[in-house]
């Protein structure tokens, strides 16, 4: 009986340990679409009507845009004041919330008119932002994700993101999809899938080779950054800073199942 108990405990431990390792997710390109090669993409998000919005960065040329999701053309654009460097973007009901990098300011817009309807102050840097249908999730370049009230922007809690038990920093652009948070890892061609309950990375997308030649070969900052889930097609649009393409991909678990 003692041997059976030991084997049972060991099996449970091994199962739990194995579960810590992120699953290497499969992906395939569904379509390639045009993208403004001068758009320093910092945030990408669909709203509930299927409109695609983009936040672009750089001092003196940051913008909020609506982009045709099929053609990649810019349908309308609003420039940010020169003192703001645009960052992450989230669609919240009929509004858009856009982070700034170092100004500690989130700007709220009417999604239909791009009129500025409010703003929120926060501490630290702003990197990525997404909306899970209940709360906002924000990254700041560290391994910490901050959960915020979608209306007041008040902090509701935080979680440290780990991979194989170690902190994973440089979390950048975010996308909320059901019970998961997806994050671009800055300066890599990797996107991780995060369990918001405990911060554990439970899936990884290795997107090396998704674009050739890689824009970062000629401009070091032209890295993967931008992911938006399209509920209508169950696919993701991904792009990068100053990339000439929006790339639609379908993601699945090993064996082809949807995550």
Q: Please name the residue that has the structure tokens 């758009």.
A: 39
Euclidean distance between CA atoms 124 and 87, whole angstroms: 13
The per-residue pLDDT for 178 is 84
Q: Is 112 exposed, middle or buried (0-12, 13-18, 19+ CB in 10 A)?
A: exposed
Q: What is the DSSP string of 114-132?
A: --EEEEEE-SS----EEE-
Condensed to tens digits (0 to 9), the pLDDT of residues 220-257 reads: 898 999 999 999 999 999 999 999 999 999 998 776 55
Cβ atoms of 120 and 103 within 8 Å: the answer is no
Cβ atoms of 79 and 88 within 8 Å: the answer is no
Euclidean distance between CA atoms 130 and 99, whole angstroms: 11
Condensed to tens digits (0 to 9), the pLDDT of residues 7-30 reads: 232 233 333 334 468 889 999 999
The mean pLDDT of 57-80, rounded to a whole number, is 96
Q: What is the mean pLDDT of the chain?
A: 89
Euclidean distance between CA atoms 139 and 142, whole angstroms: 7
CB-CB neighbours of 155 under 10 Å:
13
The pTM (predicted TM-score) of the whole model is: 0.88
Q: Please name the residue that has the structure tokens 């672009």.
A: 56
Q: Which helix (H) or strand (E) holds 235?
A: strand 235-240
Classify 73 as helix, strand or coil.
Answer: coil
List the CATH code of the domain at 38-252: 2.120.10.30
Cβ atoms of 129 and 227 within 8 Å: the answer is no
Whether the pLDDT of residue 259 is over 60: the answer is no
What residues form DSSP beta bridges with 34?
A: 245
Cβ atoms of 207 and 189 within 8 Å: the answer is yes
Whether the pLDDT of residue 190 is over 50: the answer is yes
* Cα-based distances in Å from 196 to 17, 125, 132, 137, 200: 19, 21, 10, 9, 8
Strand 201-206 to strand 23-24: parallel, antiparallel, or no bridges (unpaired)?
parallel
Where exactly are the structural domains of the chain? 38-252
Cα-trace Rg, the chain: 19
The per-residue pLDDT for 218 is 86
Condensed to tens digits (0 to 9), the pLDDT of residues 137-170 reads: 999 999 999 999 999 999 999 999 999 999 999 9
Report which of 127, 210, 162, 147 is spatially closest to residue 20, judged by C-alpha positions.
Answer: 162
What residues form DSSP beta bridges with 70?
A: none
Euclidean distance between CA atoms 98 and 55, whole angstroms: 7
């Amino acid at each position: 009986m003692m041997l059976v108990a030991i084997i049972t405990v060991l099996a449970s431990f091994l199962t739990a340990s194995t579960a810590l390792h992120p699953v290497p997710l499969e992906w395939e390109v569904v379509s390639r679409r045009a993208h403004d090669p001068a758009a320093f993409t910092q945030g990408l998000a669909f709203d509930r009507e299927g409109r695609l919005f983009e936040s672009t960065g750089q001092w003196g040329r940051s913008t909020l845009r609506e982009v045709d999701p099929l053609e990649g053309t810019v349908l309308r654009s609003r420039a940010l004041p020169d003192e703001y460097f645009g960052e992450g973007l989230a669609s919240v009901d009929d509004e858009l919330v856009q982070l700034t990098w170092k100004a500690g300011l989130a700007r709220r817009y009417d999604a239909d008119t791009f009129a500025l309807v409010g703003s929120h102050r926060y501490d630290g840097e702003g990197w990525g932002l997404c909306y899970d249908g209940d709360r906002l999730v924000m990254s700041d370049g560290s391994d910490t994700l901050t959960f915020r009230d979608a209306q007041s922007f008040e902090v509701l809690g935080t979680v440290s993101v780990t991979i194989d038990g170690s902190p994973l920093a440089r979390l950048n652009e975010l996308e909320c999809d059901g019970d998961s948070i997806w994050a671009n890892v800055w300066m890599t061609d990797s996107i991780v899938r995060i369990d918001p309950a405990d911060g554990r990375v439970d899936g990884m997308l290795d997107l090396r080779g998704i674009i050739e030649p890689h824009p970062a070969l000629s401009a070091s900052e032209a890295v993967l950054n931008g992911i938006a889930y399209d509920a209508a097609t169950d696919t993701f649009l991904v792009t990068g800073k100053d990339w000439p393409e929006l790339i639609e991909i379908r993601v699945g678990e090993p064996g082809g199942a949807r995550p």
